[in-house]
């Protein structure tokens, strides 16, 4: 009996241990699945993980933090904003928000100032280099064609270029943008075709006349040409950005010391997109290589350390590869790439409809820049109008509810009080006597007036008039 009890107890212990092991394994699998992250970015281009600088910076941040349970998904759906991190059921958009979610180090004053400097200065240079310049935009659009489906290729590149041109309009560098000439001519009404032809004829005549004179271009005339003045302005913008950045780098390996921080990932995203793309007008990359060799070495060191170099064709071909070839291609990649996200018919219709609606004049969103002044009011001052409105509404609802529920009723069957001017009869007998006298005086005045009118009629004067009429002669 004891042997059977001990064997039953042993079997029970073994079953419980096995069940506990299965539960623990299931918990580990579920926790690993729950903690896995997906990073959605714009597709790769120019040998980089993305064609967007902030997306490259976010990839560098995840590589720096040595996160194993994450995957990289190229996409074109930017309705929520890119980069987009899906983690633990949450959707976090933007480099700063993702860095805060991943528990990156707290940024100090230098890091915050450097991040603002990068976002302001680097974004302007990238806008000019990739989008504003007509020749460079042709190369940028070709890169978009390789990573975008057919319907998005007509929407996303032109939208990003319009935003870039709006951000750099205040710089006055439209001379490098050939599209401005065509847009200015196409925007004229049909009756304005002849406007400006006389001035153009005079300018052309002056140019032809100047050819007959032995006149050479001077330094001043060369500097006044739009294309040369724009080039000087671009180089000045590049120097104003690269110079302070290289001074801050100094002899260190990273911008803020010997240790890599999140601001280094942000700088790597912007500087990589300036250095590596091969563009027809490579003024930005050539300036960086010729005058700022330390920054070039810094960018190359960051890309090598984080494994950011990417083959765009290999990544985009994952969607057409077989499972065996896909796994082999992933093992050869330095980043955890996944199959590019595909668009359904609903997504295509939604994106196309949204783009068409945005071009309707009445429904087009405003692109004006509004300056928001800091709110210096105290908390109670900001909330006072809301509190007063709430109190007034509560008081009104309370009064209505008391009468509706019968707690308070209107006076019924009681003496009616009328507020107005008092009469003589309200003062008792004396008032009644005074009221009678006033009525008698009014009647007396009325009789006297009617009698005087009758006397006037009786006293009317009657005058007899005699008229002599001469007899007319009879003919």
DSSP state of 120: I
CA distances from 30 to 27, 35, 68, 336 (A): 5, 8, 16, 21
141: which residues sit within 8 A by CB, 6+ positions away? Answer: 157
Q: Show the 3-state SS of 175-239.
A: HHCCHHHHHHHHCCCHHHCCCCHHHHHHHHHHHHHHHCCCCCCCHHHHHCCHHHHHHHHHHHHHH
What's the CA gap between 33 and 54, in Å, rounded?
27
Residue 351 makes CB contacts below 8 A (sequence gap 6+) with: 77, 79, 151, 152, 155, 343
Phi-psi region of 46 (alpha: psi -120 to 50; beta: other; left: phi over 0): left
In the 8-state DSSP scheme, what is residue 257? B
The pLDDT value given to residue 29: 37
d(CA 303, CA 294): 14
How would you class 359 by CB atoms within 10 Å of its CB: exposed for 0-12, middle for 13-18, buried for 19 or more?
Answer: exposed
Report the alpha-carbon distance of residue 371 to residue 356 in Å, rounded.
29
Residue 60 confidence (pLDDT):
96
Distance CA 60, CA 304 (A): 11
Spans of all domains in the chain: 34-180+221-358
| 44 contacts 315 by C-beta, under 8 angstroms | yes
User: 């528990």: which residue's tokens?
Assistant: 103
Q: What is the pLDDT along the chain (475 residues), one digit of tens a residue?
A: 444 444 444 444 444 444 443 334 333 334 444 357 999 999 999 999 999 999 999 999 999 987 678 999 999 988 889 999 999 889 999 999 999 998 876 678 889 999 999 999 999 999 999 999 888 999 999 999 999 998 899 899 999 999 999 999 888 776 565 444 434 434 444 444 444 444 555 555 555 445 444 555 554 454 444 445 677 888 899 999 999 999 999 999 999 988 999 999 999 999 999 999 999 989 999 999 999 999 999 999 999 999 999 999 999 888 777 777 777 677 788 899 998 877 778 877 777 777 777 767 766 555 544 444 444 455 566 667 777 888 888 888 888 887 777 776 655 555 555 556 666 666 666 666 766 666 566 666 665 566 665 655 555 555 555 555 555 544 4
Beta partners for residue 86, in sequence order: 38, 91
């Amino acid at each position: 009996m004891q042997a059977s009890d001990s064997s039953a107890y042993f079997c029970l212990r073994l079953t419980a241990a096995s069940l506990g092991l299965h539960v623990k394994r299931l918990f580990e699998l579920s926790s690993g699945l729950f903690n896995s992250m997906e990073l959605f970015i714009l597709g790769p281009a120019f040998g980089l993980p993305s064609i967007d600088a902030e997306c490259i910076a976010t990839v560098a941040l995840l590589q720096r933090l040595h996160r194993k349970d994450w995957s990289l998904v190229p996409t074109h759906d930017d309705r929520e904003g890119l980069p987009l991190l899906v983690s633990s059921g949450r959707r976090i958009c933007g480099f700063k928000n993702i860095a805060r979610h991943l528990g990156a180090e707290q940024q100090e004053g230098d890091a915050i100032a450097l991040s603002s400097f990068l976002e302001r200065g680097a974004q302007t240079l990238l806008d000019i280099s990739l989008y504003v310049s007509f020749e460079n935009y042709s190369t940028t659009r070709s890169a978009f064609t390789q990573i975008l489906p057919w319907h998005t290729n007509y929407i996303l590149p032109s939208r990003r270029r319009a935003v870039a041109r709006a951000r750099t309009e205040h710089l006055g560098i439209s001379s490098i943008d050939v599209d401005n000439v065509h847009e200015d001519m196409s925007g004229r009404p049909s009756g304005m075709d002849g406007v400006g032809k006389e001035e153009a004829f005079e300018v052309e005549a002056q140019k032809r006349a100047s050819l007959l004179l032995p006149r050479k271009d001077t330094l001043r005339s060369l500097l006044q040409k739009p294309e040369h003045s724009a080039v000087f302005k671009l180089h000045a913008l590049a120097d104003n950005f690269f110079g302070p950045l290289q001074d801050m780098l100094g002899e260190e390996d990273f911008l803020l010391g010997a240790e890599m921080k999140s601001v280094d990932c942000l700088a790597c995203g912007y500087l990589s997109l300036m250095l590596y793309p091969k563009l027809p007008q490579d003024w930005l990359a050539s300036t960086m290589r010729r005058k700022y060799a330390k920054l070039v070495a810094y960018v190359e060191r960051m890309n090598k350390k984080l494994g950011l170099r990417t083959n765009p064709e290999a990544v985009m071909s994952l969607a057409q590869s077989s499972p065996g070839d896909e796994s082999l291609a992933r093992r050869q990649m330095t980043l955890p790439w996944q199959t590019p996200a595909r668009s359904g018919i609903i997504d295509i219709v939604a994106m196309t409809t949204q783009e068409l609606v945005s071009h309707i004049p009445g429904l087009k969103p405003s692109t004006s820049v509004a300056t928001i002044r800091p709110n210096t009011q105290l908390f109670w001052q900001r909330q006072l109008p809301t509190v007063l409105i709430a109190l007034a509404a509560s008081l009104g609802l309370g009064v209505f509810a008391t009468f509706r529920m019968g707690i308070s009723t209107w006076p019924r069957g009681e003496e009616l009080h009328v507020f107005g001017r008092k009469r003589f009869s309200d003062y008792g007998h004396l008032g009644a006597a005074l009221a009678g006298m006033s009525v008698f005086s009014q009647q007396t005045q009325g009789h006297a007036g009617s009698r005087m009118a009758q006397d006037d009629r009786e006293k009317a004067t009657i005058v007899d008039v005699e008229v002599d009429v001469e007899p007319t002669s009879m003919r």
